[in-house]
Structure formats: structure tokens, C-alpha cells
Structure 1
Amino acid sequence: MNTRKTARNLLIAGGMTLALGLSACSGDTGGSGEGELSGASITVGSKEFTESIVLGYIAAEVLENAGADVTDQTGISGSATVREALVSGEIDLYWEYTGTAWVNYFGHTAEDVPDDLFAAVAEEDAANGVAWLDQANFENSYAIATGRDFAEENGIATLSDMAEYMQQNPDDAGICAASEFINRDDGLPGLEEAYGVKFDPLVEVDLNLVYTQINEGCAFGEVTTTDARNITNDLVVLEDDRGFFVEYAGAVTLRQDVLDEYPAIAELLAPVSEELTNEVMATLNGRVDNDGEDPRDVAEEWLQEQGFID
């Protein structure tokens, strides 16, 4: 493996938030000066984890290809921080998840989720001056995983199986999880209440490290459903048989004033969202997390392959 690729792997695994956040502060992708968004200046943000960054670059590349002057603010740490950046005008758009908005921003619980969560979220956020573009065809929900050998040896396939195992084996009930999941109502606190369990020890680690720590330091770990590292680390994603976890469908969010000024944004991104399935996202995420590719290169190559950009 060459030095550049090694550096990329280290960046992604251990320091993506800092490195991307710093580079984003001055990042400017430029624009072609032609197309539906010629003359537009748009700042694209993202959260700090791989999928959000890839999605941010997908949006940025499409807008730039349409002539916009795009400023890169990908890699902002924490959902609340990137949301505030959008509302305050520091960024103009980023990809968000329905469950995050419903629980974290609007203060609802995981028990009062409507049948059409996307419609409910879009309607409620309209009052905040935030528009939701077409929902994509992928859902990146929280989940709990364990090692395949461990799951098969102990007959664990569902979260109820996990709860039963933990009750019978209290000394082997640890979980590795990232800070945000630990503190979210739709994360660890709600999960423990829904399944009547208490994870102990609770090991807080960077989300990028959870996947390798399962069965190394923890019996269980927080994962997300579109992460390719579930496959490469031979993990079993446990079925949420009580339906606790909220739907996390992805969609572009942007301020309504930005959409009013540049309505072509919605038209440009709609066909892209339609092609983004769970399988596609897992593949793109894997190229970054497993293969060490640059997130922007991954986004650009996929868009070119699909014919969305030149």
C-alpha cells in the first residue's frame, strides 16, 4: 500500500472530523460557470461520518456541474452542530435523516413516530424555514451488531435474544458506542428501556473504531445499517424485533430561501436521490472505509458512472 493510501486510511479511521473540518473551512470547489445554477454560490455541509461526507460531495459535485460556485464545509462534527450551521446560514444544504430530525430536533419520542415519517418531518420543518427535498431510496438506521461466531454460538439473532443473553450473562454485556448514540433518546437510553437491559461496561469510542472493537473489547456494538464494515468485519446486525429504532431515511435539507432562489437544486438532485439505495450506499461507504479511497473521488466517480455529471 502506498504512503498516500495509508494516510487516507489513518485519516478516515482516526481523525476525519478534525482533518475534514479544518480543510472545509477554506474549501472551494469552484464552478463551471455554465448550466442551471450559473452564478449561484452555495455552501454544502455534512456531518463527520463517512456516509454523510460522501453524500455531501455527491450534492456538491452535482451543483458544481450545473455551474454553481460551491464552498466545501463537509465534516462538521455532530448533528446539532451541522443543523445549527444550516439554520444560521453558515451552510446552505446538507443531507439529513428523518429519524434524527423527528427525535433530536423536534423533540418527539421513538414511540410516537407517524406512519409517513418523511411527510411529517417535512411539514414540521417548513415552519423552521427548512425544506426537505425528495427522500432517497436508502435508510441508514441505527442497529446493534455482534460477531458472527459469537452470535451463532449463543443463538443471538434479534435484540430480544441479546437481552436474554445479557440477563443470563451479566459479565458479558458490554457495548462499544459513540458519544452521540450514547446520549440520544433514540439511541442507547431508549434502547435499554425498550428491551429492559443495561449495558455494562459501556465503552465510548469513536464511531469509526466500533466495528473493530466488537468481540475485541465489547460483546456488542453500535453500527449503522448501510455501513460496509458490517460485512468486512463479519458482523451480524441484530433484528430490531420490537421496532424500537426510528426510520432514518436520507434526504437533502436546505433553507427555504435558498430553494426559492435556486429551484433547480431540487430538479438536479431528485434523480440522484432516486438511485441511492442501501446497496449503493454500502458500496460507496465501503470504498472509503475499507479501501481507503477519498470520499470526494468516490462521489465523483459514481456520479460520472451514472451519467449525472460530465
Structure 2
Amino acid sequence: MNRRTALKLMSAGMAGMLVGGCGLSSGSAVPLPVAPGSIRPVPELEGVRITVGSKDFTEQIVLSYIAQFALDAAGANVRDLSNITGSASARNALASGQIDVLWEYTGSSWISYNGNTDPIPDARRQYEAVRKLDLERNGIDWTAVTFDVDNTYAFAMTQEAAKRLGVSKLSDVRRVVAENPQDATFCVDTEFASRNDGMPGVEQTYGFRADPAKIKTLTSGSIYQATASGTCTFGEVFTTDGRIRSLNLKVLDDDRLFFPRYNLGVTLRADMLRQYPQITDVLAPVSAQLNNVELMKLNAQVDVEGRDPADVARDWMVEKGFVTLPGRAAP
């Protein structure tokens, strides 16, 4: 979705760029070598060409490499087509067969791809509805879902401001607007400022009306520092962004469950998953180790520390024991 493109990793490879309007390039080899760890060679996947794609922001690129290393260790002939510009382009690449595997978010499919306007607050029911709709309407199936990852919208503030104003959840914002109007300042991006599932919906659900003069529209990436520096009290963030952790920001609880669920899963064309159900066996244990805290750490290594996403992904896979480095025996 457009809300995520501000997190674009400009230094990543451009394998996913559109080529002459005729589709995507064929992809490249997995960027770093790995050997089997707890992921063992799978005879049914031996030599099978599987192209793994991603959208064009840090988390997606790291996740793409994680899937690539997993499938490579299982024996597949993996191709890298990460960093496809725009969510719609990545989704279309999956549907058209230009890529085979794409990590996806339930809210993105429900709202952006399938045109629904009302999210389902319960994560499992949202996933079940998305999977059913995608399968019936688009021939796309979901697997290896984790409800421990929910990369959705949120508001954050500094720990000092939260303590001083007594704020821990979004329903506390109404009191700040009424009693401390000088502190009721908001930093949001342009899209969030006008979306129904953005600022207007937050105001309606939580019963306050912010002074328009105190709503600053910034690029998504600059909101984190603006919040940390006190330019605004409340900053719109994404819940797995590593800058939350590095800047020690406090994320407010969405206690009325307004924001859509953006739980993480792997999407494939249904015929691909039917032919190679072993892909689930390879990726489900990996997905089970992912959660918001883990992704925040991984994202921060790229966005804050400046590490290469492929290195970050491989180190994590080795740390978890899924793969080993070439020349080292699996435990």
C-alpha cells in the first residue's frame, strides 16, 4: 500500500523494477550461500525453480531473503525478485506467475486488493475471510500465517510525554485534547490524514476532534524523529518499525481495535501450493519464530544500523538454527 512506500530501501537491488512495460526481469540467484540446518533437503523441492518476490520496503526485503534462504536450504532453485516497486505491482507479479512466493499482510489483501472498507477486528476471522476471498476470487492461497506479527498503524509518543500526560492508550487522547490542548499535536503522513482508516476514523472512534492547525503532515520516515524530538506529541507509526525501539517511543494501545489487522502470511498461487505443499512445511516453522519484536529488531538493523538486508536475514536464520553457513555441519 502507499502508506508503506515511504519505508523504501533505496540501496537495495533493483531486480524488481519494471522492464520496458513488459513485466519483471527474471530475477537473480540467492545473494548469499547457505547450507541446511533444521531445514533439511526436501526431495519434492529438489531443483524446483521458485521465485521469491517482495515489496519495496525494508521489512518485506528482509522477509524475502528469509524465505529464499529457507527454500534454498530445502533444495529448491531459488530466484530473487525482491524490491518490486509498489504493493499492487508485487501482487500482480504473484497473480501473473512472475513470482511464486510473496509475504503478505491480511489487511492489505482485504482492503487494498479486494476493495473492502470495513476491517474485521478479530485477527483469525480476518485471516479466514481473506484466505477464502483470495482463493475464490483470485486463485491465491495463504499459508504459514502468524498472528504474532501485526504490522498495522499506531500512534506513538515519547516515554516522557506519556508519563507526564498519563497516556497509555488511544482512548486517553480525548482527555489530552480537552484538558491539555497545547499538547494535542499530531504528526501524520498525507495519506493517513484523509483516509477513513486514518485520522478521520481515529477521531470518530475515539471521540475527539484535533485542531487542524496542530496536525502536521510529514513523510512517513520523518515522523519518528519528529515525535522523538517533541515536534509533535503523537506520531503515526507502523508497529514493527525498528525506529520505535531505537528512539524508545511508546506505542499507544488501540484499545477499541480501530486499526485493521495486518497479520503476516505467505501467499502463493493456489495451483503452486497444491503442486508443492512442502513449501508450507519449510516456511511455517520460520513464520512461527516471527513476531513484532523480532521484526522490529531486524528492521532496525537495516534502517538504523545500516546493515544489508540479506546479511540481516541470513544471520537471523543461522541464529535460529534453520540454516548453517557453508562448510559447517548442521547440529
**Aligned residue identity for 1:92:** D
Q: Using a 3 Å threshold, how does the CA distance of structure 1 residues 299 and 165 change in structure 2: closer, same or farther?
A: same
Pick from 119, 128, 132 the counterpart of residue 119 of structure 1.
Answer: 128
Question: Aligned partners of 2:176, 2:200: CA distance in 1, in Å?
Answer: 19
The alpha-carbon deviation at position 99 of structure 1 amounts to 2.0
Q: Which residue number corresponds to residue 154 of structure 2? A: 143
Asked if 1:75 corresponds to 2:67, the answer is: no
Contact 1:17 / 1:77 at 8 angstroms: preserved in 2?
no
Distance 1:88 1:197, change over 3 A: farther
In structure 2, the CA distance between the partners of 1:173 and 1:46, relative to structure 1 (3 Å rule), is farther
C-alpha distance in 2, partners of 1:43/1:201? Answer: 43
How far apart, in 1, do the equivalents of 2:50 and 2:144 lie? 19
Aligned residues: 296
Q: Which residue is 1:133 aligned to?
A: 143
Contact 2:7 2:221 in 1 (8 A): no
3-state DSSP of counterpart to 1:20: coil
Alpha-carbon offset, residue 184 of structure 1: 4.7
Q: CA RMSD in A?
A: 2.8
Distance 1:189 1:77 in 2: 28
Q: What letter is aligned with 1:208? A: G
CA distances 1:157-196 after superposition (whole Å, capped 9, x unpaired) = 2212223323455565443334554565433343233224
Counterpart for residue 94 of structure 1:
102
- CA change 1:173–1:80 in 2 (3 A) is farther
The yes-or-no answer on 1:175 pairing with 2:186 is yes
Q: Verify the 8 A CA contact 2:15 2:84 in the aligned structure 1.
A: no
Q: What is the one-letter code of the residue matched to 1:201? A: I
| Cα 1:21–1:166 shift into 2, 3 Å | farther
Q: Who is 2:198 aligned against?
A: 187
AA in 2 matched with 1:62: A
Structure 2 CA distance, aligned partners of 1:145 and 1:105?
28
CA distance in 1, matches of 2:191, 2:270: 28
TM-score by length of 1: 0.83
Deviation (angstroms), 1:32: 8.8
Residues 143 and 222 of structure 1 are in contact (CA less than 8 Å); yes or no, is this contact kept in structure 2?
Answer: yes
- Pair 1:211-2:224 in alignment: yes
Unmatched tracts of structure 1, length 5 or more? 1-13
Residue 84 of structure 1 and its aligned partner are, at CA, apart by 2.4
Whole-angstrom CA distance in 1 between matches of 2:194 and 2:272: 32
Letter of the structure 2 residue corresponding to residue 164 of structure 1: R
Gaps of at least 5 residues in structure 2 are: 1-5, 18-24, 36-40, 325-331
SS at match of 1:135: strand
Q: 2:272 aligns with which of 258, 262, 281?
A: 258
Equivalent residue for 2:299?
285
Partner of 1:197: 209
8 A Cα contact 1:110 1:244, kept in partner: no
Q: Supply the distance in 2 between the matched residues of 1:178 and 1:88 (Cα, whole angstroms).
A: 32
Equivalents in 2 of 1:125, 1:222: separation in Å? 29
Instruction: Identify, as 1 or 2, the structure richer in helix.
Output: 1
Aligned to 1:270: 284
Distance in structure 2 (CA, Å) of the matches to 1:70 and 1:184: 38
Name 1:57's counterpart in structure 2. Answer: 65
Among residues 12, 27, 38, which one is paired with 1:20 in the alignment? 12
1:242 paired with 2:256, answer: yes
Change (3 A) 1:146 1:78: farther
Distance 2:49 2:85 in 1: 23
Change (3 A) 1:307 1:15: closer
Instruction: Identify which range, 116-125 or 257-266, moves more after superposition.
Output: 257-266
The AA in structure 2 aligned to 1:22 is M
Give the structure 2 partner of residue 4 of structure 1: none
Change (3 A) 1:95 1:185: farther
**AA of the residue aligned to 1:117:** Q
Point out the more displaced range, 60-69 or 166-175.
166-175
CA contact (8 A) 2:16 2:82 kept: yes
Q: Spell out, residue by residue over 1:224-272, the C-alpha distance to the aligned partner (whole angstroms, 9 max, x if none).
A: 2233322221211111122111222111111112223332211110111
Q: Secondary structure at the match of 1:236?
A: strand
Helix, strand or coil at the partner of 2:144: coil
2:92 maps to which of 84, 96, 101:
84
Contact 2:169/2:252, CA 8 A, preserved across alignment: yes
8 Å CA contact 2:121–2:258 kept in 1: the answer is no
Contact 1:17 1:76 in 2 (8 A): no
Q: Distance in 1 between matches of 2:77 and 2:194?
A: 37
Contact 1:73 1:91 in 2 (8 A): yes
